[in-house]
A and B are shown apart, each in its own frame.
Chain A
Amino acid sequence: MTHVLRVNPIACVGHGICAELLPELIEIDEWGYPIVDTRPVPPWLERETHRAVAACPVLALTLQHAERRK
Protein backbone atom coordinates (compact mmCIF):
# COMPACT_ATOMS: atom_id res chain seq x y z
CA MET A 1 0.00 0.00 0.00
CA THR A 2 1.47 3.39 -0.94
CA HIS A 3 1.51 6.05 1.72
CA VAL A 4 1.96 9.80 1.67
CA LEU A 5 3.20 12.05 4.45
CA ARG A 6 0.94 14.78 5.67
CA VAL A 7 1.56 17.45 8.26
CA ASN A 8 -1.17 19.09 10.30
CA PRO A 9 0.05 22.70 10.03
CA ILE A 10 -2.05 23.86 12.98
CA ALA A 11 -0.66 21.24 15.34
CA CYS A 12 2.92 21.58 14.11
CA VAL A 13 5.02 23.94 16.20
CA GLY A 14 8.30 23.24 14.47
CA HIS A 15 10.16 20.89 16.81
CA GLY A 16 12.07 19.72 13.73
CA ILE A 17 12.62 16.13 14.87
CA CYS A 18 10.98 14.79 11.70
CA ALA A 19 13.54 16.50 9.46
CA GLU A 20 16.39 15.09 11.53
CA LEU A 21 15.05 11.56 11.27
CA LEU A 22 13.93 11.79 7.65
CA PRO A 23 16.00 14.39 5.78
CA GLU A 24 15.29 12.51 2.52
CA LEU A 25 11.64 13.66 2.58
CA ILE A 26 11.51 16.54 5.04
CA GLU A 27 13.44 19.79 5.12
CA ILE A 28 13.08 22.72 7.48
CA ASP A 29 12.17 26.18 6.20
CA GLU A 30 13.76 29.43 7.37
CA TRP A 31 11.25 29.68 10.22
CA GLY A 32 11.78 26.15 11.51
CA TYR A 33 8.72 24.48 10.01
CA PRO A 34 8.87 21.29 7.96
CA ILE A 35 8.50 21.21 4.19
CA VAL A 36 7.25 17.74 3.50
CA ASP A 37 7.62 15.81 0.24
CA THR A 38 4.03 14.80 -0.48
CA ARG A 39 4.80 12.28 -3.19
CA PRO A 40 4.25 8.60 -2.29
CA VAL A 41 6.83 7.41 0.23
CA PRO A 42 9.34 5.13 -1.55
CA PRO A 43 9.48 1.61 -0.11
CA TRP A 44 13.12 1.93 1.01
CA LEU A 45 12.15 4.81 3.32
CA GLU A 46 9.09 3.18 4.90
CA ARG A 47 10.93 2.34 8.16
CA GLU A 48 12.44 5.80 8.61
CA THR A 49 9.12 7.39 7.74
CA HIS A 50 7.28 5.43 10.41
CA ARG A 51 9.97 6.42 12.91
CA ALA A 52 9.62 10.10 12.03
CA VAL A 53 5.84 9.93 12.34
CA ALA A 54 6.08 8.23 15.72
CA ALA A 55 8.65 10.75 16.96
CA CYS A 56 6.55 13.89 16.41
CA PRO A 57 5.87 15.25 19.93
CA VAL A 58 2.52 16.79 18.91
CA LEU A 59 1.41 14.06 16.49
CA ALA A 60 1.31 16.56 13.64
CA LEU A 61 2.97 14.25 11.15
CA THR A 62 0.82 11.45 9.77
CA LEU A 63 0.95 8.79 7.10
CA GLN A 64 -2.07 8.41 4.90
CA HIS A 65 -3.09 6.07 2.16
CA ALA A 66 -2.29 7.80 -1.10
CA GLU A 67 -5.84 7.59 -2.43
CA ARG A 68 -7.36 9.27 0.61
CA ARG A 69 -5.44 12.45 -0.03
CA LYS A 70 -7.53 15.56 -0.13
Chain B
Amino acid sequence: MSDTQAQRQRTTASDPPVGGSLRLLPPVQGVTERLSAHLARNGQARCRGTALVRAVGQAGLTGRGGAAFPTHVKLAAVAGASGRKAVIANGAEGEPASVKDAVLLRHVPHLVLDGLQLAAEAVDATEAYLYTGAWLTGWVRQVLAQRADDVPVTVIEAPPRFLSGQETAVVSRVSGGLSLPTFSPRRVSERGVNGAPTLVQNVETLAHLALIARHGPDWFRQLGTPAEPGTTLVTVNAGGRRTVTEVELGTALADVITAVGTAVLIGGYHGTWLPMTTALSLTLDNRALRRHHAALGAGVLAVLPRQACGLVETARVTRYLAAESAGQCGPCLNGLPRIAAAMAELAGPRPRRGTVQAVERWAGLVTGRGACHHPDGTARLVRSALTVFAVELGRHANGRCSATTHHPVLPLPRAEEMPLTDKDWL
Protein backbone atom coordinates (compact mmCIF):
# COMPACT_ATOMS: atom_id res chain seq x y z
CA MET B 1 0.00 0.00 0.00
CA SER B 2 1.40 3.42 -0.88
CA ASP B 3 1.70 6.13 1.74
CA THR B 4 -1.06 8.23 0.26
CA GLN B 5 -3.44 5.31 0.12
CA ALA B 6 -2.67 4.40 3.71
CA GLN B 7 -3.11 8.02 4.70
CA ARG B 8 -6.47 8.36 3.05
CA GLN B 9 -7.66 5.31 4.91
CA ARG B 10 -6.54 6.68 8.19
CA THR B 11 -7.76 10.22 7.72
CA THR B 12 -11.33 9.12 7.09
CA ALA B 13 -13.35 6.58 8.99
CA SER B 14 -10.57 4.58 10.62
CA ASP B 15 -9.27 7.31 12.93
CA PRO B 16 -10.09 6.03 16.40
CA PRO B 17 -12.60 8.04 18.38
CA VAL B 18 -11.34 10.41 21.05
CA GLY B 19 -13.16 10.25 24.34
CA GLY B 20 -11.79 13.24 26.20
CA SER B 21 -9.06 15.86 26.25
CA LEU B 22 -7.36 17.91 28.92
CA ARG B 23 -4.00 19.16 27.72
CA LEU B 24 -2.53 17.23 24.84
CA LEU B 25 -5.51 16.95 22.58
CA PRO B 26 -7.30 20.09 21.36
CA PRO B 27 -10.89 20.71 22.45
CA VAL B 28 -12.11 20.37 18.88
CA GLN B 29 -11.55 16.77 17.91
CA GLY B 30 -11.45 14.78 14.74
CA VAL B 31 -9.30 17.32 12.95
CA THR B 32 -5.58 17.87 12.86
CA GLU B 33 -4.41 20.90 14.73
CA ARG B 34 -2.60 23.04 12.18
CA LEU B 35 0.62 24.84 13.04
CA SER B 36 -1.13 28.22 13.47
CA ALA B 37 -3.83 26.73 15.71
CA HIS B 38 -1.18 24.85 17.68
CA LEU B 39 0.80 28.05 18.30
CA ALA B 40 -2.36 29.98 19.15
CA ARG B 41 -3.39 27.33 21.71
CA ASN B 42 -0.04 26.48 23.20
CA GLY B 43 2.16 29.53 22.55
CA GLN B 44 5.93 29.39 22.23
CA ALA B 45 8.30 27.41 24.41
CA ARG B 46 9.83 29.61 27.11
CA CYS B 47 12.04 27.11 28.88
CA ARG B 48 14.75 25.40 26.85
CA GLY B 49 18.09 23.65 27.03
CA THR B 50 19.48 22.57 30.39
CA ALA B 51 16.78 24.61 32.16
CA LEU B 52 14.21 22.37 30.46
CA VAL B 53 15.96 19.24 31.75
CA ARG B 54 15.61 20.68 35.27
CA ALA B 55 11.98 21.68 34.66
CA VAL B 56 11.10 18.20 33.41
CA GLY B 57 12.68 16.77 36.59
CA GLN B 58 10.68 19.19 38.79
CA ALA B 59 7.54 18.33 36.86
CA GLY B 60 8.08 14.65 37.59
CA LEU B 61 7.35 13.59 34.02
CA THR B 62 7.76 9.87 33.40
CA GLY B 63 7.87 7.95 30.12
CA ARG B 64 4.46 7.26 28.62
CA GLY B 65 5.63 4.39 26.43
CA GLY B 66 5.18 1.78 29.14
CA ALA B 67 8.15 1.74 31.50
CA ALA B 68 7.28 5.01 33.32
CA PHE B 69 10.99 5.81 33.65
CA PRO B 70 11.77 9.38 34.85
CA THR B 71 12.22 11.41 31.68
CA HIS B 72 14.76 13.88 33.08
CA VAL B 73 17.14 11.04 34.03
CA LYS B 74 17.36 9.96 30.39
CA LEU B 75 17.62 13.59 29.25
CA ALA B 76 20.44 14.26 31.73
CA ALA B 77 22.30 11.08 30.75
CA VAL B 78 22.37 12.00 27.06
CA ALA B 79 22.97 15.70 27.79
CA GLY B 80 26.03 14.69 29.82
CA ALA B 81 27.48 12.54 27.04
CA SER B 82 29.86 14.01 24.50
CA GLY B 83 30.20 13.80 20.73
CA ARG B 84 27.53 13.20 18.12
CA LYS B 85 24.11 12.55 19.70
CA ALA B 86 20.67 11.50 18.51
CA VAL B 87 17.06 11.76 19.65
CA ILE B 88 14.28 9.39 18.60
CA ALA B 89 10.56 10.04 18.95
CA ASN B 90 9.13 6.58 19.40
CA GLY B 91 5.69 6.20 17.88
CA ALA B 92 5.98 2.53 16.92
CA GLU B 93 3.03 1.51 19.10
CA GLY B 94 3.32 -2.21 18.37
CA GLU B 95 0.64 -2.98 20.93
CA PRO B 96 -2.52 -3.89 18.96
CA ALA B 97 -4.79 -2.65 21.76
CA SER B 98 -3.19 0.80 21.83
CA VAL B 99 -3.85 3.66 19.41
CA LYS B 100 -2.98 6.66 21.58
CA ASP B 101 0.31 7.41 19.81
CA ALA B 102 -1.41 7.30 16.42
CA VAL B 103 -4.14 9.62 17.71
CA LEU B 104 -1.51 12.01 19.03
CA LEU B 105 0.39 12.06 15.73
CA ARG B 106 -2.82 12.51 13.77
CA HIS B 107 -4.37 15.21 15.96
CA VAL B 108 -1.45 17.20 17.38
CA PRO B 109 1.64 16.37 15.32
CA HIS B 110 3.15 19.82 15.94
CA LEU B 111 3.10 19.32 19.70
CA VAL B 112 5.02 16.04 19.30
CA LEU B 113 7.46 17.56 16.80
CA ASP B 114 8.01 20.58 19.09
CA GLY B 115 8.82 18.13 21.88
CA LEU B 116 11.29 16.34 19.63
CA GLN B 117 13.05 19.63 18.77
CA LEU B 118 13.10 20.78 22.40
CA ALA B 119 14.48 17.43 23.55
CA ALA B 120 17.15 17.51 20.82
CA GLU B 121 18.15 21.01 21.87
CA ALA B 122 18.18 20.07 25.57
CA VAL B 123 20.59 17.16 25.05
CA ASP B 124 22.52 18.93 22.27
CA ALA B 125 21.66 16.32 19.62
CA THR B 126 22.21 17.01 15.95
CA GLU B 127 20.16 14.09 14.65
CA ALA B 128 16.46 13.56 15.22
CA TYR B 129 14.26 10.68 14.13
CA LEU B 130 10.58 9.97 14.20
CA TYR B 131 9.84 6.26 14.20
CA THR B 132 6.30 5.20 13.42
CA GLY B 133 4.09 2.78 11.50
CA ALA B 134 3.79 2.71 7.71
CA TRP B 135 0.34 4.34 7.70
CA LEU B 136 1.73 7.43 9.46
CA THR B 137 5.15 7.99 7.86
CA GLY B 138 3.83 9.86 4.82
CA TRP B 139 1.58 11.95 7.01
CA VAL B 140 4.42 12.94 9.37
CA ARG B 141 6.66 13.86 6.41
CA GLN B 142 3.88 16.14 5.14
CA VAL B 143 3.65 17.86 8.52
CA LEU B 144 7.43 18.18 8.78
CA ALA B 145 7.50 19.94 5.41
CA GLN B 146 5.39 22.74 6.92
CA ARG B 147 7.89 23.40 9.69
CA ALA B 148 11.26 25.13 9.89
CA ASP B 149 13.01 22.95 12.45
CA ASP B 150 16.59 23.53 13.58
CA VAL B 151 17.39 19.83 13.85
CA PRO B 152 16.42 17.92 10.71
CA VAL B 153 14.04 15.03 11.39
CA THR B 154 14.29 11.72 9.53
CA VAL B 155 11.13 9.63 9.45
CA ILE B 156 11.78 5.90 9.85
CA GLU B 157 9.15 3.25 9.30
CA ALA B 158 8.43 0.92 12.21
CA PRO B 159 7.43 -2.56 11.11
CA PRO B 160 4.10 -3.80 12.52
CA ARG B 161 5.72 -5.98 15.15
CA PHE B 162 4.71 -6.13 18.82
CA LEU B 163 8.33 -5.53 19.82
CA SER B 164 9.26 -2.88 17.26
CA GLY B 165 8.94 -0.13 19.87
CA GLN B 166 11.26 -1.84 22.35
CA GLU B 167 14.06 0.66 22.99
CA THR B 168 16.99 -1.39 21.66
CA ALA B 169 14.90 -2.59 18.69
CA VAL B 170 14.13 1.06 17.87
CA VAL B 171 17.81 1.95 17.95
CA SER B 172 18.67 -1.07 15.82
CA ARG B 173 16.06 -0.18 13.16
CA VAL B 174 17.01 3.51 13.11
CA SER B 175 20.64 2.43 12.71
CA GLY B 176 19.62 0.55 9.57
CA GLY B 177 19.22 -2.92 11.04
CA LEU B 178 16.23 -5.11 11.88
CA SER B 179 13.85 -3.92 14.58
CA LEU B 180 14.97 -6.70 16.90
CA PRO B 181 15.94 -6.20 20.53
CA THR B 182 19.67 -6.30 21.12
CA PHE B 183 21.77 -7.17 24.14
CA SER B 184 24.38 -4.79 25.38
CA PRO B 185 25.77 -3.93 28.77
CA ARG B 186 25.74 -0.29 27.59
CA ARG B 187 22.52 1.70 27.66
CA VAL B 188 21.32 3.44 24.51
CA SER B 189 21.97 6.75 26.28
CA GLU B 190 25.66 5.74 26.17
CA ARG B 191 25.68 3.91 22.84
CA GLY B 192 22.66 4.15 20.59
CA VAL B 193 22.09 5.02 16.94
CA ASN B 194 25.25 3.96 15.10
CA GLY B 195 27.13 4.28 18.38
CA ALA B 196 25.95 7.79 19.25
CA PRO B 197 24.47 8.45 22.70
CA THR B 198 20.74 8.39 22.04
CA LEU B 199 17.59 9.61 23.74
CA VAL B 200 14.56 7.45 22.95
CA GLN B 201 11.27 8.93 24.12
CA ASN B 202 7.70 7.92 23.41
CA VAL B 203 5.83 10.51 21.32
CA GLU B 204 3.38 11.23 24.15
CA THR B 205 6.25 11.88 26.54
CA LEU B 206 7.64 14.43 24.06
CA ALA B 207 4.25 16.12 23.79
CA HIS B 208 4.14 16.51 27.58
CA LEU B 209 7.71 17.84 27.49
CA ALA B 210 6.67 20.44 24.90
CA LEU B 211 3.92 21.62 27.25
CA ILE B 212 6.25 21.75 30.26
CA ALA B 213 8.59 23.95 28.18
CA ARG B 214 5.67 26.36 27.77
CA HIS B 215 3.85 26.29 31.09
CA GLY B 216 6.44 25.05 33.59
CA PRO B 217 6.59 22.25 36.18
CA ASP B 218 4.10 23.80 38.64
CA TRP B 219 1.46 23.93 35.95
CA PHE B 220 2.23 20.30 35.04
CA ARG B 221 1.72 19.23 38.66
CA GLN B 222 -1.70 20.87 38.91
CA LEU B 223 -3.17 17.64 37.59
CA GLY B 224 -2.33 14.08 38.61
CA THR B 225 -1.03 12.85 41.97
CA PRO B 226 2.04 14.16 43.85
CA ALA B 227 3.87 10.88 43.11
CA GLU B 228 2.67 10.67 39.51
CA PRO B 229 1.88 14.14 38.22
CA GLY B 230 0.20 15.12 34.98
CA THR B 231 -2.17 13.50 32.58
CA THR B 232 -1.87 10.42 30.44
CA LEU B 233 -3.52 9.05 27.34
CA VAL B 234 -5.34 5.77 27.67
CA THR B 235 -6.84 3.51 25.02
CA VAL B 236 -10.04 1.98 26.31
CA ASN B 237 -10.97 -1.22 24.46
CA ALA B 238 -14.64 -1.95 24.98
CA GLY B 239 -17.54 -3.01 22.83
CA GLY B 240 -15.27 -3.67 19.87
CA ARG B 241 -14.00 -0.08 19.83
CA ARG B 242 -10.73 1.53 20.84
CA THR B 243 -11.28 4.98 22.32
CA VAL B 244 -8.43 7.28 23.28
CA THR B 245 -9.00 9.47 26.32
CA GLU B 246 -6.73 11.86 28.19
CA VAL B 247 -7.10 11.45 31.94
CA GLU B 248 -5.39 12.72 35.08
CA LEU B 249 -3.18 10.17 36.74
CA GLY B 250 -5.06 9.13 39.87
CA THR B 251 -8.47 9.25 38.21
CA ALA B 252 -10.92 6.67 39.50
CA LEU B 253 -10.92 3.72 37.09
CA ALA B 254 -14.70 3.65 37.50
CA ASP B 255 -14.78 7.03 35.71
CA VAL B 256 -12.68 5.71 32.83
CA ILE B 257 -14.30 2.30 32.39
CA THR B 258 -18.00 2.67 31.77
CA ALA B 259 -18.57 -0.57 29.86
CA VAL B 260 -19.99 -3.62 31.62
CA GLY B 261 -17.77 -6.66 31.95
CA THR B 262 -16.27 -9.28 34.22
CA ALA B 263 -12.57 -8.37 34.09
CA VAL B 264 -10.21 -5.68 32.80
CA LEU B 265 -6.83 -6.15 31.19
CA ILE B 266 -4.61 -3.33 32.43
CA GLY B 267 -1.39 -2.27 30.72
CA GLY B 268 -1.77 -4.14 27.44
CA TYR B 269 -0.68 -7.60 26.34
CA HIS B 270 2.24 -7.56 28.74
CA GLY B 271 -0.22 -6.48 31.40
CA THR B 272 -2.40 -7.87 34.12
CA TRP B 273 -5.99 -9.05 34.31
CA LEU B 274 -7.98 -7.75 37.25
CA PRO B 275 -11.53 -8.71 38.19
CA MET B 276 -13.90 -5.88 37.27
CA THR B 277 -14.89 -5.32 40.91
CA THR B 278 -11.23 -4.89 41.91
CA ALA B 279 -10.48 -2.61 38.96
CA LEU B 280 -13.43 -0.35 39.66
CA SER B 281 -12.20 0.24 43.21
CA LEU B 282 -8.79 1.47 42.05
CA THR B 283 -7.32 4.67 40.71
CA LEU B 284 -5.42 4.96 37.48
CA ASP B 285 -1.83 5.34 38.69
CA ASN B 286 1.04 2.94 39.17
CA ARG B 287 1.12 3.33 42.95
CA ALA B 288 -2.45 2.01 43.23
CA LEU B 289 -2.06 -0.59 40.50
CA ARG B 290 1.24 -1.93 41.84
CA ARG B 291 -0.51 -3.25 44.97
CA HIS B 292 -2.45 -5.51 42.62
CA HIS B 293 0.68 -6.47 40.63
CA ALA B 294 -0.53 -4.35 37.74
CA ALA B 295 0.97 -1.35 35.95
CA LEU B 296 -0.38 1.27 33.61
CA GLY B 297 2.09 0.37 30.85
CA ALA B 298 1.29 2.37 27.73
CA GLY B 299 -2.25 3.04 28.99
CA VAL B 300 -4.22 0.13 27.56
CA LEU B 301 -7.45 -0.85 29.29
CA ALA B 302 -9.45 -3.71 27.80
CA VAL B 303 -12.82 -4.79 29.11
CA LEU B 304 -13.80 -8.46 29.02
CA PRO B 305 -17.53 -8.54 28.33
CA ARG B 306 -19.81 -10.95 30.17
CA GLN B 307 -20.37 -13.14 27.11
CA ALA B 308 -16.65 -13.79 26.56
CA CYS B 309 -14.23 -16.23 28.23
CA GLY B 310 -11.05 -14.79 29.75
CA LEU B 311 -9.14 -18.02 29.14
CA VAL B 312 -10.05 -18.04 25.44
CA GLU B 313 -9.00 -14.39 25.09
CA THR B 314 -5.74 -14.92 26.97
CA ALA B 315 -4.97 -17.99 24.85
CA ARG B 316 -5.50 -15.94 21.67
CA VAL B 317 -3.18 -13.19 22.90
CA THR B 318 -0.56 -15.64 24.16
CA ARG B 319 -0.43 -17.36 20.77
CA TYR B 320 0.11 -13.94 19.21
CA LEU B 321 2.86 -13.05 21.72
CA ALA B 322 4.63 -16.36 21.05
CA ALA B 323 4.49 -15.68 17.31
CA GLU B 324 5.82 -12.16 17.87
CA SER B 325 8.82 -13.36 19.88
CA ALA B 326 11.98 -12.28 18.12
CA GLY B 327 13.14 -15.87 18.66
CA GLN B 328 16.61 -14.74 19.65
CA CYS B 329 16.76 -16.00 23.22
CA GLY B 330 16.47 -19.71 24.01
CA PRO B 331 14.03 -19.49 26.94
CA CYS B 332 11.62 -17.21 25.01
CA LEU B 333 11.93 -19.23 21.78
CA ASN B 334 11.22 -22.49 23.61
CA GLY B 335 9.00 -21.33 26.42
CA LEU B 336 6.46 -19.04 24.77
CA PRO B 337 5.10 -21.57 22.23
CA ARG B 338 4.75 -24.13 25.05
CA ILE B 339 2.94 -21.61 27.25
CA ALA B 340 0.71 -20.67 24.30
CA ALA B 341 -0.15 -24.30 23.53
CA ALA B 342 -0.92 -24.98 27.19
CA MET B 343 -3.12 -21.87 27.39
CA ALA B 344 -4.98 -23.05 24.29
CA GLU B 345 -5.56 -26.36 26.01
CA LEU B 346 -6.83 -24.62 29.16
CA ALA B 347 -9.15 -22.52 27.00
CA GLY B 348 -10.75 -25.67 25.62
CA PRO B 349 -12.83 -28.38 27.27
CA ARG B 350 -11.29 -30.85 29.75
CA PRO B 351 -7.60 -29.91 29.59
CA ARG B 352 -5.19 -32.54 30.82
CA ARG B 353 -4.35 -32.50 34.53
CA GLY B 354 -1.16 -30.65 35.33
CA THR B 355 -1.50 -28.12 32.50
CA VAL B 356 -1.95 -25.20 34.90
CA GLN B 357 1.17 -26.30 36.80
CA ALA B 358 3.09 -26.56 33.52
CA VAL B 359 2.14 -22.99 32.58
CA GLU B 360 3.19 -21.78 36.01
CA ARG B 361 6.53 -23.58 35.76
CA TRP B 362 7.27 -22.27 32.26
CA ALA B 363 6.19 -18.76 33.24
CA GLY B 364 8.73 -18.88 36.04
CA LEU B 365 11.35 -20.37 33.77
CA VAL B 366 11.17 -17.68 31.06
CA THR B 367 10.96 -14.67 33.39
CA GLY B 368 14.08 -12.51 33.45
CA ARG B 369 15.88 -14.61 30.87
CA GLY B 370 15.43 -12.65 27.67
CA ALA B 371 17.38 -9.75 26.22
CA CYS B 372 14.11 -7.81 26.44
CA HIS B 373 11.06 -8.11 28.69
CA HIS B 374 8.91 -10.03 26.21
CA PRO B 375 9.05 -13.32 28.14
CA ASP B 376 8.47 -11.48 31.45
CA GLY B 377 5.45 -9.63 30.09
CA THR B 378 3.95 -12.77 28.58
CA ALA B 379 4.45 -14.64 31.86
CA ARG B 380 2.78 -11.79 33.74
CA LEU B 381 -0.27 -11.92 31.48
CA VAL B 382 -0.82 -15.69 31.74
CA ARG B 383 -0.21 -15.78 35.50
CA SER B 384 -2.81 -13.09 36.08
CA ALA B 385 -5.22 -15.00 33.82
CA LEU B 386 -4.75 -18.20 35.86
CA THR B 387 -5.51 -16.23 39.03
CA VAL B 388 -8.40 -14.06 37.83
CA PHE B 389 -10.06 -16.79 35.79
CA ALA B 390 -9.60 -19.56 38.38
CA VAL B 391 -13.35 -20.27 38.52
CA GLU B 392 -13.45 -20.49 34.74
CA LEU B 393 -10.55 -23.00 34.83
CA GLY B 394 -12.78 -25.20 36.99
CA ARG B 395 -15.62 -24.95 34.48
CA HIS B 396 -13.32 -25.93 31.64
CA ALA B 397 -12.08 -28.90 33.69
CA ASN B 398 -15.69 -30.07 33.70
CA GLY B 399 -16.03 -29.52 29.97
CA ARG B 400 -17.95 -26.26 30.21
CA CYS B 401 -17.19 -22.65 29.28
CA SER B 402 -19.05 -19.51 30.28
CA ALA B 403 -18.65 -17.87 26.88
CA THR B 404 -21.87 -17.40 24.96
CA THR B 405 -20.17 -16.14 21.83
CA HIS B 406 -17.04 -17.04 19.90
CA HIS B 407 -16.66 -13.50 18.67
CA PRO B 408 -13.09 -12.45 19.54
CA VAL B 409 -12.77 -9.51 21.90
CA LEU B 410 -9.17 -8.33 22.13
CA PRO B 411 -7.80 -6.80 18.92
CA LEU B 412 -5.13 -8.86 17.16
CA PRO B 413 -3.60 -8.85 13.68
CA ARG B 414 -4.53 -11.72 11.42
CA ALA B 415 -2.45 -14.90 11.63
CA GLU B 416 -0.92 -14.29 8.18
CA GLU B 417 0.56 -11.02 9.44
CA MET B 418 2.80 -12.79 11.96
CA PRO B 419 6.55 -12.53 11.31
CA LEU B 420 8.25 -15.32 9.37
CA THR B 421 11.43 -13.94 7.85
CA ASP B 422 13.90 -11.13 8.50
CA LYS B 423 12.10 -8.76 6.14
CA ASP B 424 9.11 -8.81 8.51
CA TRP B 425 11.31 -6.96 10.99
CA LEU B 426 12.25 -4.19 8.56
Say if A and B assemble together: yes
Q: A-side interface residues toward B, CB under 8 Å?
A: 6, 8-14, 29-33, 35, 62, 64, 68, 70
Question: Is B331 in contact with chain A by the CB < 8 A criterion?
Answer: yes
Residues in A neighbouring B182, C-beta threshold 8 A: 10
> Is the CB–CB distance between A8 and B183 below 8 Å?
yes
Residues in B neighbouring A12, C-beta threshold 8 A: 329-330
Which of B181, B330, B332, B365 counts the most A-chain CB atoms under 10 A from its CB? B330
Other A-B pairs, 19, CB within 8 Å; known A10-B329, A33-B369: A8-B371, A9-B329, A9-B330, A9-B332, A9-B369, A9-B370, A10-B328, A10-B371, A13-B330, A29-B331, A29-B365, A31-B334, A31-B335, A32-B330, A33-B330, A33-B331, A35-B365, A62-B185, A70-B185
Interface string of B350-376 (1 = CB under 8 A from A): 000000000000000100011100000
Question: Is B400 in contact with chain A by the CB < 8 A criterion?
Answer: no
> Is the CB–CB distance between B185 and A9 below 8 Å?
no
> Is the CB–CB distance between A11 and B183 below 8 Å?
yes
Chain B interface mostly: loop
**30 A–B contacts, CB within 8 A, in A order:** A6-B185, A8-B183, A9-B183, A9-B328, A9-B330, A9-B332, A9-B371, A10-B181, A10-B328, A10-B329, A10-B371, A11-B183, A12-B329, A12-B330, A13-B330, A14-B330, A29-B365, A30-B365, A31-B330, A31-B331, A31-B334, A33-B330, A33-B331, A33-B334, A33-B369, A35-B365, A35-B369, A64-B185, A68-B185, A70-B185
Residues in A neighbouring B370, C-beta threshold 8 A: 9
Question: Is B84 in contact with chain A by the CB < 8 A criterion?
Answer: no
Question: Is B34 in contact with chain A by the CB < 8 A criterion?
Answer: no
What CA separation (Å) do A10 and B372 show in the bound complex?
A: 10
Q: How many of chain B's residues touch chain A, expressed as a range?
A: 10 to 19
What CA separation (Å) do A32 and B328 show in the bound complex?
A: 15
Which of B187, B329, B370, B371 counts the most A-chain CB atoms under 10 A from its CB? B329
Chain A interface mostly: loop
What CA separation (Å) do A30 and B181 show in the bound complex?
A: 24
Residues in A neighbouring B183, C-beta threshold 8 A: 8-11
What CA separation (Å) do A68 and B332 show in the bound complex?
A: 25
Which of B181, B365, B369 counts the most A-chain CB atoms under 10 A from its CB? B369
Minimum Cβ distance to chain A for residue B162 (Å): 17
Residues in A neighbouring B187, C-beta threshold 8 A: 70
> Which residue of A has the minimal Cβ distance to B365?
A29
Q: Please provide the 4 A-B residue pairs with the shortest distance between their CB atoms, ordered closest to farther.
A: A9-B329, A33-B330, A31-B334, A10-B328
What CA separation (Å) do A56 and B187 show in the bound complex?
A: 24
Which of A8, A13, A68 counts the most B-chain CB atoms under 10 A from its CB? A8
